[in-house]
Structure 1
Amino acid sequence: MALPINIKELLNGQVIEWERLEFKRDWNPVPILRTLCAFANDINNWGGGYIIIGVEEHEGRPVLPPEGVAPERMDSIQKELTNLCQRLQPNYLPIAQPYVFQDKHILVIWAPAGDMRPYTAPDGLNKGAQRFSYIRSAASTIKAKGENLRRLQELTARIPFDDRVQQQATLKDLSLGLIRDFLNEVDSELFDQSATMPFADLCRQMAIAKGPDEQLRPVNAGLMFFSEQPERFFPRAWIEVVIREDEAGKRFSEKYFKGPLHIQLRNALSYIRNNIIEERVQKVSGRAEADRYFNYPYDAVEEALANAVYHKSYELGKPIEVQIWPDKIEVLSFPGPVPPVNARILAENRRIVARDYRNRRVGDFLKELHLTEGRGTGIPTMRRVMERNGSPLPQLETDEQCTYFLTTLPVHPIFEGDQVSDQVSDQVSDQVDPLVFKVIGICKTPSSRAEILDQLGFKNHFDNYKKYILPALDHDWIEMTVPDKPRSRNQKYRVTELGWAMLKK
C-alpha cells in the first residue's frame, strides 16, 4: 500500500527536511532500530521521519541512481522490521512500503511521531542489552542525555494538538473527495489505490485516524484538511481579510475564507493578489529598461499568511486576521512564536533558528502541497523579497508573554498615499468589460443569474455568466445570497461593500 507522498520529491528532499530523512544502502537492523526510536520520540515535533533502504548516503544526501534491494529480500526485510519494532518500548509500529525507483527496488519506512513518548531501544540485539532513548540532532541519531533527556521526559504522552484524536468526530466527517484531491495533487501512488480500498484503511495509511477498529477516530489535522467544514470542530478556524479604506478604519469591507486549511489559504491569497497587489512602472531617463515595483510583493504576502496558518494554535477560537490598510498589510495570529523565539529576538531582527514546531502534521500537509517549506525560511524569504522590491523590511512583533504574532508589510514608498479602493479600481478598470460594472448596479437589488443576463440583453447561457457575472464575483463586487450552495435554484447575487465603493467611483 503506497504512502501519501510523492516518492520522487521525498528522495530529493523537496517536501521533507533532510534531518527527517535517513538513507541506508542495505538493511542494517541496529542503526535502523535507533533511528526508528528517534523519529518516534520526535523531540522537536517535526513529525517523525523516513528511512529509505536501498539508497546510499553521501554527506546527508542520497546517491542516485539507488543501489536498490534484491526483490526477493523485500518480504523477509519487512518481516524482520516487524520483529525489530517489538524491541521498542512502548509499542510502536511504523509504515513500510516497497517502491520501484529508477528501475531499482527500495523500501521506504515512514516513522510518524509516536503518541507515548519517550520511547527506548536497546543498544544492541543481544540479550540484556542496555536501553536508551534516542533523538535526532541535525541529520544524526544520538542518545538523549542531559538537557535533551530532560526535554524528552517532559514530553511524556504529550501529543501536539493537531495530531490528537478528535473524539467528537467520526470517519464520516472526513471527505473522500478532498483526500483524493490531495493525493492526486501531490502525485502519490496512493491516489489510484484510494478509489477501491476500504476508507478506514485509507485513513490509517495516511495517519489521519487513530484507534482500534471499533473506535477509529479522525485526528485533528485530518479534519483541518479533509473536512468540508473544519470550523465545526475548531471554532473560528478561518482567515478574515479586512480592507480598511481610510487610516481611521471607519470605512472598511471584510471577507471570510473558510473550509479546509489549504483551500482557505489559497483562496485568501488569490483574493489579495487579484484585488490588492498592484504593479507600477517607472521610466528611467537614459535607460531602456524601466523599474517595476509592487505595492506588496506577492511572495512576501504568501509567506506571511502561510506562516500564520502553519504556526497558529487551533485550540484557540481565534481566526487569522489580515488587515489591509492604505499604507500596510498586517497579518495577526494567536498565540505568539514558540520559545526560544521571543519579542527581543523579533525586535532585533535576528536570524530565527528555532526548530520546535507547534503543528507538526499541519506543517507536513502544507509542505507536501508546496504552500510552505518549514525549514525556518519564511521570515528570511519575506525580508529578501521586500528588499528586492525596494520596500521597507517587514516588521515582526509579539509581546513579552508571546500571546500573539503580528507581521506588518509596509507599502512600497511610491504607493504611499494611495487608497485601497483606488488601487482596486485603477487595476481593473482597463481589464474588465464595462458590462460587468452594469452587473454591479443590477445587483443593488438581489437578482438571479437569469434576471441579470436578461437585463443585460443576453440569454441565460454559461458563456454569458462566465463573461459578465463571474468577474464581478471574482473581484468581490457581488456575492451569492446562498454561498454554501452555489448551484441552488434560489441563488441570487447582491452587491458587497467593495461593490458599493466601485459604484460610487
Structure 2
Amino acid sequence: MQAFLQEVGSTLAEDAPGLSVEALARQMNVAGGPTESPWPKNVGLLFFNDTPERFFPAVQIDVVWFPEGAGGDRFEEKIFKGPLARMTREALSYIQRNFLRETVIKHPDRAEATRVWNFPYAAIEEALVNAVYHRSYEEREPIEVRISNEELVILSFPGPDRSIRLEDFQAGRAVSRRYRNRRIGEFLKELDLTEGRSTGIPKILKVMAANGSPAPLFESDEDRLSFVIRLPCHPLARPVPPKVTGEVAPEVTPEVAPEVVRVVLALQEELSRTGLQQALDLKDEKHFRKAYLLPALASGLVEMTRPETPRSSKQRYRRTRLGQRWLETHQGNSAY
C-alpha cells in the first residue's frame, strides 16, 4: 500500500510509515468493518494481496501464442498472477518484449522509410486494461490473450453492459450508463493505466488507424456472456516468404485482391462511400462493403479521412501513402 501511495504521489505517503496496516487500509478505503473485527474490501484484496486468486479464483491473465495460427497443433502459454496492477504490467511487458515487432519498408525513391507495427502497443494496453477493469471477479474464467501472426485477441467475461450497443463500439461512441468495478477503475486511473471516462474504445480505434492497421473488431453474444476485442495484424507486418527479383522495389509488397485493386484505381480523389460505390458501378451496398470496401481498408492501401468517427456523414475514403506507392509500382503491370 505504501508503494502504491508513493507511486501515485499521494500526500498520505508521508504519514503511511507511522500507521498500522489497519489504519492505513481504512484511510485508503480498502478495509472496513467495526474496530474489533476489521475486514478487507474486495478492491484491497485485488490490489494489495500477493495472491488474490485465493479469494477470487481465476484472477489471472493467460497469454497464449499460436505459431501456426489458432487452428494449429502447437501453442505456448504463460500465466500471470498477483495483484491487479502488477499482473497487468507484467503481462503487457511480456507481450511487448516477445510479440511486437516493427516493420521498416524502404523505398528506392526517397530516404524516408515507412514504419508500421504488427500490433500497436497502445491499443493492446487499452484493450487489456479494459478487460481487467470491466471483467467480473465472480466468474471463474481468466482473461485470455491469444496471439497469432494474423491477430491479437483479448477475451474476458462477461460482456459489456446491455446499455451499450455493439455498433456503438465500432463507431467509437460507446458510453456506459453503469460502470462495473468502479473502485478498480479508480485505482487503475491513479496508476495512469486508464482514464476511466469511456475513452478506451475510441483510443483503440484511433491508435490502430494511426498505425495503418485494419479496424479492430468488438464482439459479444446476445446474452453478453463474454467480450472479445480483435486487433488484426498490419498486413505489411505479417511474415511473408522472401521474393527474389531483379527490380528495385519496397522490401515488403502486399498481395492485393482484384477487388481492392479496383478500389485503389477508383480513388483518384477523396470519395464518400456512395461516391466510391458509384465509381465502381456496384448496385448492391452490402456486397460493395463486404467484398470491396472492408478488404481495401484492411489492406492498408486505403484509409478513412475520419477514422475516429467511422459513421460520420462527412466520411471520405482515400489512398494511403502505401496505396499511392503501390499504384505507382504496379501501374504498368498489365495484370492490373
TM-score when scaled to structure 1? 0.46
Sort the Cα spacing of 1:382 and 1:193 in 2 relative to 1 into closer, same or farther, 3 A.
same
Whether 2:72 is the aligned partner of 1:249: answer yes
* Contact 1:240–1:320 (CA under 8 A) maintained in structure 2: yes
**Cα shift readout 1:198-240 (whole Å, capped 9, x = no counterpart):** 2211111100011111121000000000001000000010000
- Which amino acid in structure 1 is aligned with residue 150 of structure 2? D
Map 1:296-335 onto structure 2 (within 5 A).
296-335=119-158
How big is the shift at 1:417?
Answer: 4.2
Distance 2:235 2:93 in 1: 24
* Contact 2:102–2:237 (CA under 8 A) maintained in structure 1: no
Secondary structure in 2 matching 1:215:
coil
**Cα shift readout 1:229-274 (whole Å, capped 9, x = no counterpart):** 0000000100000000112231100000000000010000000100
Whether 2:6 is the aligned partner of 1:184: answer yes
* Contact 1:327–1:417 (CA under 8 A) maintained in structure 2: no
Out of 260, 271, 277, which is 2:94 matched to? 271
Distance 2:75 2:159 in 1: 27
Out of 218, 224, 242, which is 2:46 matched to? 224
Distance 1:366 1:199 in 2: 21
Out of 168, 190, 194, which is 1:372 matched to? 194
How big is the shift at 1:418?
Answer: 5.6
Query: What stretches of structure 2 of length at least 5 have no aligned partner?
Result: 242-336
**Looking at CA atoms only, which structure, 1 or 2, has the larger radius of gyration?**
1
For this pair of structures, how many residues does the alignment match?
Answer: 240
* Contact 1:342–1:398 (CA under 8 A) maintained in structure 2: no
- Which amino acid in structure 2 is aligned with residue 402 of structure 1? R
Query: What stretches of structure 1 of length at least 5 have no aligned partner?
Result: 1-178, 420-505
**Cα shift readout 1:105-159 (whole Å, capped 9, x = no counterpart):** xxxxxxxxxxxxxxxxxxxxxxxxxxxxxxxxxxxxxxxxxxxxxxxxxxxxxxx
How big is the shift at 1:334?
Answer: 0.2
Whether 2:81 is the aligned partner of 1:258: answer yes
How big is the shift at 1:353?
Answer: 1.9
Out of 173, 178, 185, which is 1:363 matched to? 185
Secondary structure in 2 matching 1:255:
strand
Aligned to 1:122: none
* Contact 2:135–2:157 (CA under 8 A) maintained in structure 1: yes
Whether 2:135 is the aligned partner of 1:292: answer no
- Which amino acid in structure 1 is aligned with residue 153 of structure 2? E
* Contact 2:68–2:74 (CA under 8 A) maintained in structure 1: yes
Map 1:72-471 onto structure 2 (within 5 A).
179-247=1-69, 248-346=71-169, 349-417=171-239
Secondary structure in 2 matching 1:185:
helix
* Contact 1:294–1:389 (CA under 8 A) maintained in structure 2: yes
Distance 2:216 2:94 in 1: 21
How big is the shift at 1:351?
Answer: 1.2
Q: Percent identity?
A: 50
Aligned to 1:85: none
- Which amino acid in structure 1 is aligned with residue 114 of structure 2? D
How big is the shift at 1:279?
Answer: 0.5
How big is the shift at 1:362?
Answer: 0.4
Secondary structure in 2 matching 1:269:
helix
How big is the shift at 1:404?
Answer: 0.5
Distance 2:240 2:183 in 1: 41
Distance 1:307 1:350 in 2: 14
RMSD of Structure 2 on Structure 1 (CA): 1.4
Aligned to 1:479: none
* Contact 1:308–1:333 (CA under 8 A) maintained in structure 2: yes
How big is the shift at 1:283?
Answer: 1.5
* Contact 1:396–1:408 (CA under 8 A) maintained in structure 2: yes
Distance 2:13 2:168 in 1: 43
How big is the shift at 1:284?
Answer: 2.6
Secondary structure in 2 matching 1:195:
helix
- Which amino acid in structure 1 is aligned with residue 215 of structure 2? L
- Which amino acid in structure 2 is aligned with residue 302 of structure 1? E
- Which amino acid in structure 1 is aligned with residue 205 of structure 2? R
* Contact 1:238–1:264 (CA under 8 A) maintained in structure 2: yes
* Contact 2:104–2:116 (CA under 8 A) maintained in structure 1: yes
- Which amino acid in structure 2 is aligned with residue 183 of structure 1? L
Aligned to 1:480: none
- Which amino acid in structure 1 is aligned with residue 73 of structure 2? K
How big is the shift at 1:290?
Answer: 1.0
Distance 2:223 2:106 in 1: 48
Sort the Cα spacing of 1:363 and 1:206 in 2 relative to 1 into closer, same or farther, 3 A.
same
Determine which structure has greater relative contact order: mean sequence separation of CA pairs < 8 Å that are 6+ residues apart, divided by chain length: 2
Secondary structure in 2 matching 1:313:
coil
* Contact 2:8–2:191 (CA under 8 A) maintained in structure 1: yes
Aligned to 1:461: none
- Which amino acid in structure 2 is aligned with residue 228 of structure 1? D
